[in-house]
Structure formats: C-alpha cells, structure tokens
Amino acid sequence: AFIALTTAAQAIVFLVDPSEDFYYGFESQLNLLKAIRNLVNSKVVVAINKVDKVSDERLTKVVEALAEVAPEAKVVKISALKRLGLEELVKTLKNLSRRAEP
C-alpha cells in the first residue's frame, strides 16, 4: 500500500479515530501519519472521525497534535455514522482535485 501511495496519489485522506479507547492508539496513528508524510509528496487531508463521540477538550488536543505533525494538512472533523462534516470533506477533496488538474 505504501508503494502505491508514493506513485499514484495526488491527495491522501488519513482517517483518525480520536477515541481514547480505540485499540490503535492515537500516538500510533500520529506515527503512521508521520511515516506516510515522509514517503509521499501528496496533499494530506486528515479526517477526524467520531467527533460526536469525544469531548470538545479531547478534540482540541487531537487537532493540536495533528497540527504539530502535519501543519500543512487540511483537517476536517466528521462523523461518518451521523453524516456530519461529510460535505466539507467532499468539498475539500474536490478543491484539491481542481488544483491538481493541468
């Protein structure tokens, strides 16, 4: 999967689960994001999922940590289950796609 990212991707959507009890901890997710950023020269959109399940305080900490790791990334807050923020995510991806067209 990493090889495909290095050759084909104009943009990458990195999905983050901010839940404190998620089996793949947030620090591990940040480390994976760092690894991907070091491998690719693509735009990165970070979608923070499950925003309806975490406190505002937790969400603020997650956004701050993401800004440190990927300051150039566009961060979009979503809830796939409740369909919150999905329009903004699609709009962001369309804008990136338009910028990438020759």
- Give me the long-range contacts of 92-95 (CB less than 8 A, separation at least 24): 92/45, 93/11, 93/13, 93/45
pLDDT tens string 43-74: 899 999 999 999 999 999 999 999 999 999 99
Its pTM stands at 0.86
The half-sphere exposure of 54 on its side-chain side, counting CA atoms within 13 A, is 23
Which of the four pLDDT bands, split at 50, 70 and 90, describes residue 2? low
Torsion angle of C-alpha atoms 1, 67, 69, 25, degrees rounded to 10: -70
For the chain, the domains span: 10-95
Q: What amino acid occupies position 48?
A: I
CATH of domain 10-95: 3.40.50.300
Which of the four pLDDT bands, split at 50, 70 and 90, describes residue 100? low
Tell me what percent of the residues of the chain surpass a pLDDT of 90: 68
What lies within 8 Å, CB to CB, of 34 at 6+ separation is: 69
Q: For position 40, what pLDDT does the model report?
A: 82
Per-chain mean pLDDT for the chain: 88
